[in-house]
């Protein structure tokens, strides 16, 4: 007789970046998703008790925002700090990765190379070959970028897993189970279209116009699914392993 499904807390800091396809892949992998939207008024749990994994998504806020500017991020930072301390299986995306970097002793700043927008590639670092999530990925997987800030310094003790020519710190791991992705893997073409419409400054900084950015992003979404859906499955395995270990200890 199997126990309850492993529980993943999904934190959506802003409604413009829902879990979308990533949430569907994780649910298909057997996880129970508990989605909270603090930017829309949802309460976040005070602790990660009873949670087997954590997913923190992105949004237009900045990791450098103070409590008055973005009060909804206070609880997100608290949960990321708890996840780091417990080495809880965690996936932090874009803003989530920047918050993770800061909580872990790294540093975020306005991107010195300007906004990074649209479909692009990242390159695995040598350390990724031995990583359980990143090892099976192709050398230069497709991703979606939409950020103005950059992770200038990684958290203490972090392992760099992927880079790009524009921004070096594209993916990293802290401990054994806590991961940060500067890029997006969760999007749909419609989400990218909404971002491109909202982010006038980011689009203006790109050498491509908005229509081309959206068309190129739409074209790579099948490749994104081919690469990142199995990645999501491997992350779900980490969460399930944590759940099993917790059940055995109780």
Residues annotated catalytic, as ranges: 94, 184, 186
Helix crossing, 72-86 with 95-103: angle to 10°?
60
**How many whole angstroms separate alpha carbon 21 and alpha carbon 26?**
9
Other CB atoms within a 10 A radius of the CB of residue 154 amount to 21
End-to-end CA distance of the chain: 17
Partner residues linked to 33 by β-bridges: 8
Which stretch of DSSP H or E encloses residue 96? helix 95-103
What whole-number distance in Å separates Cα of residue 118 and Cα of residue 198?
Answer: 13
């Amino acid at each position: 007789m199997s126990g309850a499904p492993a529980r993943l807390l999904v934190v959506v800091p802003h409604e413009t970046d829902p879990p979308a396809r990533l949430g569907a892949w994780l649910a298909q992998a057997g996880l129970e998703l508990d989605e909270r939207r603090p930017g829309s008024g949802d309460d976040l749990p005070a602790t990660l008790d009873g949670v087997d994994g954590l997913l923190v998504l992105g949004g237009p806020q900045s990791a450098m925002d103070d409590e008055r500017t973005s009060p909804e991020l206070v609880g997100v930072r608290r949960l990321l700090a708890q996840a780091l301390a417990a080495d809880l299986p965690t996936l932090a995306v874009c803003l989530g990765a920047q918050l993770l970097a800061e909580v872990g002793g790294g540093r975020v700043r306005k991107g010195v190379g300007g906004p990074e927008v649209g479909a692009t590639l990242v390159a695995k670092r040598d350390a990724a070959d031995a990583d359980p999530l990143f090892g099976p990925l192709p050398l230069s997987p497709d991703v979606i970028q939409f950020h103005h800030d950059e992770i200038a310094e990684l958290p203490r003790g972090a392992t760099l897993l992927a880079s790009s020519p524009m921004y070096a710190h594209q993916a990293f791991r802290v401990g054994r189970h806590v991961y940060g992705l500067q890029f997006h893997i969760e999007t749909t073409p419609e989400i990218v279209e909404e971002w491109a419409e909202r982010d006038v400054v980011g689009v203006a900084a790109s050498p491509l116009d908005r229509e081309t950015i959206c068309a190129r992003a739409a074209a790579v979404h099948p490749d994104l699914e081919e690469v990142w859906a199995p990645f999501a499955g491997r992350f779900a395995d980490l969460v399930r392993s944590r759940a099993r270990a917790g059940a055995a200890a109780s």
